[in-house]
A = this chain, B = another copy of it.
């Protein structure tokens, strides 16, 4: 049994096309029906404003499966600690023996979450999308853009964030780390005006993005909502979208943007894995608006953990 810390994991698994390919293969396997993925285990630790989620999945034929434990303790910043944390335990899919423990402190979750955004953009956004608008300016606001830039010729970033001073930090970070120019906007309408891709990355409990804010041709990636009390899109976005895609239907209905839609949907909801593997055909017109809700799935965790374990053992 091997034990790895975050620094060791960061050295081998980066936000790049190799890691993207690994997570994409996970989505493809999901679409092909090759994945066992039970519902998420979730527990609140109310007295500490905390929660813990456990996600897992097994991709048939993979040497290992991962169980990911993600605690989120939202008073931690007051103690000078990060809110999110966690580890992944890899087991042999043949014997159930522990293969390795990745004490990644949530790093691999950050990576696989950003890569899901990139996979969404790769398969669903217009190929020449160069302008991206981001709501929120936290870590995923950074990583989603960096990941999507792997698959689309991103030239310019528009950002809106509730806290203007943090938006300035974000602007500097994106310039320094990725050479990307960022324009800060005072409201969501302005921020999205020229968007070809929109990524919502907030922990909002109230919908932020309206249908009329989305320009024709844009692809919307809603990755913030991953629990029953979060929501970023108004129902009008879901109801009017020309294409509606989710990472996992059951999760989007319980934890994601499909949870709050009041009216029955008139369009089919597609799963990203079905499109990635080619089982379902996705055809967008250049002016279509597509909306993809990402809640985060166990197959991404098992895929990135397997990839990391392979890299570490090389």
Residues on A lying within 8 angstroms of B by beta carbon are 1, 3, 36-48, 50, 52, 54, 56-58, 60-61, 65, 67, 69, 71-73, 76, 79, 81, 85, 87, 89, 91, 93-98, 101, 103
- CB atoms of B41 and A93 under 8 A apart: no
- CB atoms of A45 and B96 under 8 A apart: yes
Residue from the list B44, B81, B96 in contact with A71, Cβ < 8 A: B96
- CB atoms of A67 and B65 under 8 A apart: no
Measured between beta carbons, the chain B residues less than 8 angstroms from A56 are 41, 43, 52, 54
Measured between beta carbons, the chain B residues less than 8 angstroms from A93 are 45, 47-48, 50
| Cα A89 to Cα B54 with chains together (Å) | 12
Q: Give the top 6 A-B pairs by smallest Cβ distance, nearest first.
A: A71-B96, A41-B41, A73-B96, A38-B43, A48-B94, A50-B96
Count of chain copies: 2
Q: Name the residue on B nearest A51 (C-beta).
A: B96
Measured between beta carbons, the chain B residues less than 8 angstroms from A101 are 101
Measured between beta carbons, the chain B residues less than 8 angstroms from A79 are 95
Measured between beta carbons, the chain B residues less than 8 angstroms from A61 are 47
A207 → chain B, closest Cβ, in Å?
Answer: 28
Measured between beta carbons, the chain B residues less than 8 angstroms from A58 are 43, 45
| Cα A56 to Cα B51 with chains together (Å) | 12
Q: Name the residue on B nearest A56 (C-beta).
A: B43
- CB atoms of A95 and B43 under 8 A apart: no
Between-chain CB contacts (< 8 Å), 27 pairs: A36-B45, A37-B43, A38-B41, A40-B41, A41-B41, A43-B56, A43-B65, A45-B58, A46-B60, A47-B61, A47-B93, A48-B94, A48-B95, A48-B96, A50-B95, A50-B96, A54-B54, A54-B56, A54-B67, A67-B69, A71-B96, A73-B94, A73-B96, A79-B95, A81-B95, A85-B96, A85-B98
A168 → chain B, closest Cβ, in Å?
Answer: 30
A21 → chain B, closest Cβ, in Å?
Answer: 24
